[in-house]
Amino acid sequence: MLDGWARRKIDPALDAMAARLVRAGVSANAVTWGAFAVGAAAALAVAHGWFLAGAVFLLISRLGDGLDGAVAKRRGRTDLGGFLDITLDFAFYGLIPLGFVVADQQANGVAGAVLLAAFYANGASFLAYAIMDEKRGLASDARGPKSLFFTTGLAEATETIAIFLAMCLFPRWFPVLAYGFAAVTVYTTVARIVLATRAFR
């Protein structure tokens, strides 16, 4: 829901950083892999109970996730780049809740599993909608140039990052935050199914 607003705020800074990376010969795919590696480090930190370090790594990782698109815009977008971007994003989104489950299986196990199940269904609906939309030639650049068509919803990247940060800052509240965001994610999935029913009938 907030992705469009957030991108308008941070895109100028990302473009400036991307220009420096391009001059240094850094590829968009290298940025994507680097962002994922730092995201995996965030999950590892969380799993060890180092929640503040996890928050820092998380923010650096998501900065990289924004940077890869800005670099790709300057160097040229590729299908491989789009594939890596969305695949590693989804992997990152799964690793953070998993880190909390590992950190405290008794307190976080069920809530983490519920959140991961909600993410799984939402990711499937997101990708399936993008495929059908592309097949019908309905894709647009309304949310900016993307390798895949991005449908909007309550649970988007900005909201997910905010929830992950809240979990890192208030780890004892993980179950409550996980259940709450799972509900928001399920709502997003259901809304997308309704949208698909109308668009693809």
Tokens describing residue 168: 């890192």
Distance, CA of 178 to CA of 167 (rounded, Å): 8
Instruction: Quote the pLDDT of residue 170.
Output: 97
Tokens describing residue 37: 């590696």
Percentage of the chain exceeding pLDDT 90: 56
Instruction: Quote the pLDDT of residue 153.
Output: 63
Distance, CA of 138 to CA of 159 (rounded, Å): 26
Structural domains counted in the chain: 1
- At 18-47, the pLDDT tens digits run 788 888 888 899 999 999 999 999 999 999
Q: For residue 200, name the pLDDT band (cuts at 50, 70, 90).
A: confident
Q: Are 126 and 159 in contact (CB under 8 A)?
A: no
Helix axes 79-103, 51-75, angle to 10 degrees: 180
pLDDT exceeds cutoff 60 at 68: yes
Count of CB atoms within 10 A of residue 158's CB?
17
Residues 6+ apart with CB under 8 A from 197: none
Instruction: Quote the pLDDT of residue 2.
Output: 45
**DSSP assignments along 47-89, one per residue:** HTT-HHHHHHHHHHHHHHHHHHHHHHHHH---HHHHHHHHHHH
- At 170-197, the pLDDT tens digits run 999 999 999 999 999 999 999 999 988 9
| Host domain of residue 84 | 3-199
Q: Are 133 and 200 in contact (CB under 8 A)?
A: no
- At 108-145, the pLDDT tens digits run 999 999 999 999 999 999 888 888 877 777 655 544 55
Distance, CA of 170 to CA of 68 (rounded, Å): 30
Q: For residue 7, name the pLDDT band (cuts at 50, 70, 90).
A: low
Distance, CA of 45 to CA of 53 (rounded, Å): 6
Predicted TM-score of the model (pTM): 0.84
- At 71-99, the pLDDT tens digits run 888 888 888 998 999 999 999 999 999 99
Instruction: Quote the pLDDT of residue 135.
Output: 79
CA distances (Å), origin 45, targets 58, 65, 96, 105: 10, 19, 10, 15
Distance, CA of 111 to CA of 105 (rounded, Å): 10
CATH of the domain at 164: 1.20.120.1760
- Average pLDDT of the chain? 86
